[in-house]
Amino acid sequence: MAGREGASPIEPRDRSGASPAPMPTEPELPAPLSLIYLDVDDEITSAAARIRAAGADDVALVLPYGSRLATSRINFRLLARESAFRGKRLEIIAADASARALSEAAGLPTHASVAAFESRRSSETTGGEDGGGNEAGAGTEAGAATPAGGIRGAAGAARAVALSAASAASAATARVRGAGAGDEEETQTRMLAVPRRRAARVPVVGPPRPPVRRGLAIGVGLAVIVAIIAGGFAALEFLPSATITLHPRSAPLGPLELTVEAREDVTAPDAAAMTVPARRFTFPLEASQTFTATGTHVDEAKATGTVTFSNFDTGRGVLIPKGSVVQTDDKVEFETLAELTLPRAQIDFFPPFPVRPSSADVGVQAVEPGTAGNVGNNTITDIKGGGRNLRVTNAQPTTGGAHEELPEVSAQDVEAAQTALTAALVAELDQQVTAGEGVPPGFALFTSTKAVGDPAYTVDPKTLVGQQVEQFDLGATAEGSALGVDPSPIQALAEARLATEVAAGWKLQPGSVVSTLGTPAVLGTSISYPVSASATQVRTVDQAGLLAAIRGLGLPEARSTLDDFGDVAIEVWPDWVTRIPTRADRVDLILGDPQPSAAP
């Protein structure tokens, strides 16, 4: 087979077209093989990567119809050079005749199908004896998919000529490039000279090969040299690629200890003043109770009656003024209700000459009210300050004295009722503040800021005083209120304050701000929040600007330029590339996760 060690690129033939009988060779075992199937869209970079990853030294690429790899012979030459550099033996399997022609022109063994490849590989190992005792020669590789032996011979001859021209082109390229490009061409030469297992020769069946003219061979060689040189320059421009992964530097920021005040007179969060709005929420309140009257109303009456005064003084009459006091033996006093005059007493002229007193009745009233003035008849017998000749008595008992105690609403009762209703309104406000009825989500109410407005009573409390009832009803309504704060804007205020602390050339990492709220304190009508805020700042990276700055730089210089922005890793393809490609579409700059570093 062409290009193998010990095999001639063009087999000798006699004039009849038959090849001389080959020398017998020892059978060989199949070498390890990596059979790689490519997709239509696979490019040379993908194919080269899969060749590098192949575990076996023998690699066969299977190309589908329309493969993008089969659009240029340079692709096959580059793959051949990569395989040679890796110490691998590469063969191409393509059903497309144009793809096989390009592969053969690049000096790569080519097969029309996997079956033809496996048959040829088996014949290399076993000697490939046919029924007539002939060996399967290397010239049948491309012809395995064609029925005519002449076509097989022609394909083998074309491949041999292409390989010879490629070897000459490689040497010419080395002379043209000189010592500076010697390493690259040496790699290409290694690719073309990779040792391969020796295959037994078989006679080529078909018409004899037409003679090759010397001038045509020289022209073909020069064309190949020019194509290789042009392909090399094109490869240097279009082939190299670089993938740069940059992990921007990051550093902690803070913590900052802040104080945010919530006030009713603030309408929007203010980052400069560190204030947020506080809102007073109102709640309708209502309470009513039945109260017991603890006052007492006393209803008393004085007893009245009639007493009879008698004057036993025969010498003169007696004037009894109004208000004169008479009493019982128990000292129950009565006073006269009218003035009374008694004439002197008369002496009866008939023996035994008794004295006839002058007598008269007058109404009396008990001095003290109550039932004590109700005395029996003939019990009022004493005249306070009366003379010896003056007598008094009551023929009938006194009546009308009374003492009755009734419940009554006192002023203290009304005041206590108002205090109780105020406490009930406050309790009702506490319940509504705890329930948060009508309060938007996110707001926190502070019970220490609650307040109850002036109550309105169901009746005027003053009208209740003096009512003689055992119980009375009283109700009240009022409006309660409490301060509420939505602390969510505090996070934005802390982030805004942290942003002022970021170093030049850095920025806050999105989502890294952490603010911790302490216990709020109520200061009159405002709420004070202690806040501890921290975040992470990261190096600002202008991807487009950095790409423009490093394109065309050597790898060390590019790393030095990017090192100030973070940890950088540069991967180039092929491995021998030492500079960042100048074409923008061949360089990718990927931003990875930020990595911690010292604070700026």
Count of all residues that appear for the chain in the document: 600
**pLDDT of the chain along its 600 residues, tens only?**
333 333 333 333 443 444 444 444 444 445 688 889 999 888 888 888 889 888 888 999 999 988 988 888 888 889 998 898 888 999 999 999 889 999 998 889 999 999 989 888 887 766 544 433 333 333 333 333 333 333 333 334 334 333 333 343 333 333 333 333 334 334 333 433 333 443 334 343 344 445 445 556 666 667 667 666 655 555 555 578 999 999 999 999 888 889 999 998 898 999 889 999 999 999 999 999 999 999 888 889 999 999 999 999 888 889 999 999 999 999 999 999 999 999 998 887 777 778 889 999 999 999 999 999 999 999 999 998 777 889 999 999 999 999 988 899 999 999 999 999 999 999 999 888 888 888 898 888 888 888 899 999 999 999 999 888 989 999 999 999 999 999 989 888 888 888 888 988 899 988 888 889 889 999 888 899 999 999 999 989 988 899 988 988 998 998 988 988 889 999 999 888 899 998 888 999 998 889 887 667
How many whole angstroms separate alpha carbon 70 and alpha carbon 55?
Answer: 24
Instruction: Give me the pLDDT at residue 136, please.
Output: 35
Name the DSSP letter for residue 48.
H
List the domain boundaries for the chain. 33-238, 281-292+409-485, 297-406
pTM of the full predicted structure?
A: 0.42
462 Cβ partners below 8 Å, 6+ apart?
Answer: 414
Instruction: Provide long-range contacts, Cβ within 8 A and 24+ apart, for 6-9.
Output: 6/198, 7/138, 7/198, 7/199, 7/201, 8/160, 9/160, 9/161, 9/163, 9/164
**Amino acid in the structure at residue 8:** S
pLDDT of residue 230: 56
Residue 332's closest CA among 404, 398, 245, 261?
A: 398
For residue 252, which of 9, 554, 599 has the smallest C-alpha distance?
Answer: 599
What pLDDT was estimated at residue 421?
92
**What are 316's two structure tokens?**
């003169």
What pLDDT score does 438 carry?
A: 83
> How far apart (Å, rounded) are the C-alpha atoms in residues 456 and 440?
29
Amino acid, single-letter form, for residue 57:
D
H/E run at residue 18:
none
Contact 325, 334 (CB under 8 A): yes
Residue whose token pair is 């036993």:
312
User: What pLDDT is stored for residue 4 in this prediction?
Assistant: 35
**Would you state the pLDDT for residue 14?**
42
pLDDT of res. 164: 39
Start-end of H helices in 107-258: 114-126, 149-177, 182-192, 214-238
- Helix (H) or strand (E) run with residue 589 in it: strand 587-591
- The domain 281-292+409-485 is classified under which CATH number: 3.40.1350, 3.30.70, 3.30.1460, 3.30.110? 3.30.110
Measured between alpha carbons, how far is 345 from 133 in angstroms, rounded to an integer? 199
Using CA atoms, how far apart are residues 343 and 321, in angstroms rounded to an integer?
14
| Of residues 92, 217, 224, the one with CA closest to residue 170 | 224
pLDDT in the model for residue 208? 47
**How remote is the C-alpha of 414 from its chain's centroid?**
58
In 3-state terms, what secondary structure has residue 224? helix
| Amino acid at the residue 599 | A
φ and ψ at residue 19, rounded to 5 degrees? -90, 150
DSSP 8-state secondary structure symbol assigned to residue 145: G
Give yes or no for a contact between 261 and 487, defined as CB atoms under 8 angstroms apart.
no
